[in-house]
């Protein structure tokens, strides 16, 4: 799980104060859901966790994307699914892993200033980009209205770091005619501390189309003292890493109504990642094993295991971008499982009905609320009272949200602190993180809560089986002819 999700503690606490934000619970339906839930046992799930621990132990203590430990994890998952009769692919994708070779700079009136290269996949022309600098009327530069009657045609736009993402700022500046952009901030892509939470979203650099740099207030002050052209040099070259996803689909079921299930397969470099996210992978993998490659289901089921979630979400994002509109419309829904065995666990459903949102509510694809109800009802049946985890755009379901695909999932929490109310509700220690070992070497097989994992794994299997059987009903999702997806 990417570290940005750890900032959700306040919203989670608000949710817990009302005991449960999940509402409108429906009774579980009979059929494949309960049957599959019974088959996915904690011993079966733990068998996969043991394998991931062995892989990490043999590969410098981690399974990070781009490492031998990650490649071994891919091979283990892919081979097991092939053995169970699935149609398995391991598509490669490229992700940015660094930059090298240049000396980015901004020259103003003969004096050089430091600039951080935000457009990591782009460089300036030989000798740099020479242009005047101009500013919108309102410094954020998030909308055309911020520019008003100011023309930045053929200029470098200078904006501040407030209000919206760097991608939005650049898109607006380019639409206004700018040939480049500078963002004034004490933060930078390499030093994001202090930046607005939305300024540098994961993989933002894929969406920048002109040279973009980040400067500090000293450089900004120099710009304000001149009306002459400046020279922006952004000459670091990108270093790319090749990675793989695992995609396995049943050979039976309606391929125009695909129930898609996913978990990120990579760990951070600082640890083996057994809860984050071996637990989610093991849950999804054991469900696939028990379902088999040719089940008697109404809908096809596609199990996906993502690379690079801890780095950039490029695995899930690149995969969705590789699909045609027809293929995107074939996806009925997406279920995501990330950290479902935390040692001080909570029991959270992803907030498909947006009941935890305290500010403006971003649109959520129709059907997400029904998925939440399905999962919450199962947790209640299992004897735990669920609460909502606010949706974010910084984990692997984010690109599905952006594409207009209904999403849902489960988590037991990460670095957020458990509140007193949550401790009374679920047990465990108040004032301690749901996973105190988050992103550390201690995230190993000895620090996974078997009881929580058993509940979450069977609940995940229940939802997968339920939707494999039918996407209709009160907790269903839009039918095939009602979908209008677009690549994220």
Which residues are catalytic, by number?
Answer: 309
Distances (CA, A) of 436 to 25, 273, 412, 418: 31, 13, 12, 11
3-state secondary structure of 43: helix
Q: Nearest to residue 315, comparing CAs of 401, 246, 410?
A: 246
The rounded Cα 167 to chain-centroid distance in angstroms is 17
3-state secondary structure of 269: coil
Distances (CA, A) of 212 to 113, 159, 181, 188, 225: 15, 11, 5, 11, 21
Q: Residue 342: how many CB atoms within 10 A of its CB? A: 33
Distances (CA, A) of 388 to 356, 393, 476: 7, 16, 19
- Alpha carbons 108 and 481: distance in angstroms, whole number: 57
Buried b / exposed e over 282-306, threshold 16 CB at 10 Å, is: bbbbbbbbbbebebebbbbbbbbbb
Q: Residue 126: how many CB atoms within 10 A of its CB? A: 7
Q: What is the DSSP letter of 276?
A: I
Hey, which residues does 129 pair with through a beta bridge? 232
Q: Nearest to residue 159, comparing CAs of 132, 179, 138?
A: 138
- Alpha carbons 447 and 412: distance in angstroms, whole number: 13
- Alpha carbons 122 and 51: distance in angstroms, whole number: 40
3-state secondary structure of 81: helix
Q: Nearest to residue 332, comparing CAs of 136, 481, 165?
A: 481
| Peptide bond before residue 390 is cis, with ω within 30 degrees of 0 | no
Q: Nearest to residue 315, comparing CAs of 21, 93, 71?
A: 93
Q: Nearest to residue 293, comparing CAs of 467, 464, 35, 82?
A: 82
Apex 198 CA angle, 430 and 192, nearest 5:
80
At residue 404, φ and ψ (nearest 5 deg) are 90, 20
């Amino acid at each position: 799980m990417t570290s940005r999700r750890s900032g959700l503690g306040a919203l989670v606490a608000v949710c817990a104060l009302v005991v449960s934000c999940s509402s409108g619970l429906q009774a579980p339906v009979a059929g494949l859901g309960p049957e599959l839930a019974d088959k996915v046992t904690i011993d079966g799930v733990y068998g996969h966790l043991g394998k991931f621990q062995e892989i990490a132990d043999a590969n410098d203590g981690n399974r990070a994307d781009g490492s031998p430990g990650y490649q071994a994890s891919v091979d283990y998952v892919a081979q097991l699914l092939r053995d169970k009769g699935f149609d398995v692919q391991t598509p490669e994708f490229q992700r940015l892993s660094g930059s090298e070779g240049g000396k980015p700079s901004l020259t103003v009136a003969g004096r050089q200033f430091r600039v951080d290269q935000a457009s990591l996949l782009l460089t300036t022309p030989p000798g740099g980009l020479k242009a005047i600098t101009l500013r919108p009327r309102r410094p954020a530069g998030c909308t055309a209205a911020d520019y008003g009657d100011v023309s930045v045609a053929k200029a470098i736009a200078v904006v501040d770091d407030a209000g919206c993402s760097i991608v939005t700022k650049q898109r607006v500046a380019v639409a206004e005619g700018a040939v480049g952009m500078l963002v004034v901030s004490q933060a930078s892509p390499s030093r994001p501390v202090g930046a607005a939470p939305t300024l540098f979203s994961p993989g933002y650099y894929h969406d920048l189309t002109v040279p973009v740099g980040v400067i500090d207030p000293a450089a900004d002050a120099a710009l304000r003292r001149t009306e002459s052209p400046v020279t922006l040099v952004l000459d670091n070259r990108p270093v790319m890493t090749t990675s793989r996803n695992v995609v396995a689909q049943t050979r039976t079921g309606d391929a125009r109504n695909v129930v898609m299930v996913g978990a990120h397969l990579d760990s951070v470099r600082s640890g083996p990642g057994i809860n984050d996210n071996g637990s989610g992978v093991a849950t999804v993998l054991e469900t696939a094993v028990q379902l088999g490659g040719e089940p008697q289901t109404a809908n096809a089921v596609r199990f996906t295991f993502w690379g690079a979630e801890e780095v950039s979400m490029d695995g899930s994002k690149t995969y969705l971008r590789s699909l045609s509109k027809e293929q995107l419309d074939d996806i009925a829904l997406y279920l995501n499982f990330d950290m479902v065995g935390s040692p001080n666990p909570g029991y959270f459903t992803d907030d498909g009905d947006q009941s935890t949102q305290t500010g403006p509510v971003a649109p959520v694809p129709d059907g997400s609320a029904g998925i939440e109800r399905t999962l919450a009802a199962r947790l209640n049946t299992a004897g735990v009272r669920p609460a909502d985890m606010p949706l974010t755009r910084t984990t692997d379901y984010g690109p599905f949200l952006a594409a207009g695909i209904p999403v849902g999932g489960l988590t037991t929490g990460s670095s957020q602190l458990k509140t007193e109310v949550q401790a009374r509700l679920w047990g465990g220690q108040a004032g301690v993180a749901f996973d105190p070992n988050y992103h550390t070497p201690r995230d190993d097989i000895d620090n996974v809560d078997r009881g929580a994992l058993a509940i979450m794994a069977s609940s995940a299997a229940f939802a997968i089986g339920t939707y494999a059987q039918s996407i209709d009903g009160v907790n269903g999702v839009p039918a095939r002819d009602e979908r209008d997806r677009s690549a994220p």
